[in-house]
Structure 1
């Protein structure tokens, strides 16, 4: 950890966690927090679902009426969690006529109202 350029985190909010299924001792997170103390604006530990919570809440509270009876394409993006795509699907299905996933040129039909 000593070789890390901690100044890169100056005045930022840092969220730490583990994105893979691994056993990480608690002291590792304490060590990271101590290195970032006085450098970062804030240091917080978050599980993967904690990171997604604002996205999921925003989806649940979003106004979907503008999409009523429309054809909607949800753009593919490898960095977005399947949990977000699932929430979008659940939110849009009751109102849209057609729900597609992928790129605009060749989307995959997910749902089509009969």
Structure 2
């Protein structure tokens, strides 16, 4: 093939490093525990009955899982209730948080971004992928910029064919 008809991949030649933040998200099942299931007549949490229910909770359901504890009913839940559930499953669950599924994802991504070794991106031109199969909490992107700004040559967001420059060092 002659040189005038050679197809060049300018993106590959640019030295741009694609980074997909979704790769930081820990793999594993997510399980919610809704305290409304333990509320007597939809009003109150009775300690004696609650203790029995938690004692009978099957710990194996939560083995290796990321667990979020919440209450979908409009009820006042005493703090000790969260203590009892956490004490029951803490030896088998990977992580337990108070809040909903979104709160769990925010915390998991926070931990992932804060503990990831980004040294392979030192001095590089980095493009943070804009689309992902998985919903990524917005805060994760903010924390990612905080981590990358001091070390990368430039940062862009989006796709290689249509990106938004964020900054250049």
TM-score (norm 2): 0.43
**Correspondence for 1:14:** 31
**SS of structure 1 residue aligned to 2:111:** helix
**SS of structure 2 residue aligned to 1:41:** helix
**SS of structure 2 residue aligned to 1:107:** strand
For residues 9-68 of structure 1, what are the alpha-carbon distances to aligned partners after superposition, in whole Å with 9 as ceiling and x for unaligned?
xxx652257xxxxxxxx62x647xx9xx76x81364242333321221121111121111
- Relative CO higher for 1 or 2, CA cutoff 8 Å, sep ≥ 6? 2
> Do the aligned partners of 2:122 and 2:152 also contact (CA within 8 Å) in 1?
yes
Equivalent pairs counted in the alignment come to 88
> Do the aligned partners of 2:156 and 2:167 also contact (CA within 8 Å) in 1?
yes
1:100 aligns to 2:142 (yes or no): no
The gaps in structure 2 that reach 5 residues or longer are: 1-28, 40-52, 70-97
CA pair 73-16 structure 1, distance change in 2 beyond 3 A? farther
1:90 aligns to 2:146 (yes or no): yes
The gaps in structure 1 that reach 5 residues or longer are: 1-11, 18-25
In 2, Cα distance between the equivalents of 1:106 and 1:13? 34
**Correspondence for 2:61:** 41
Larger Rg: 2
In 2, Cα distance between the equivalents of 1:71 and 1:91? 14
Output the aligned Cα RMSD. 2.8
> Do the aligned partners of 2:105 and 2:137 also contact (CA within 8 Å) in 1?
no
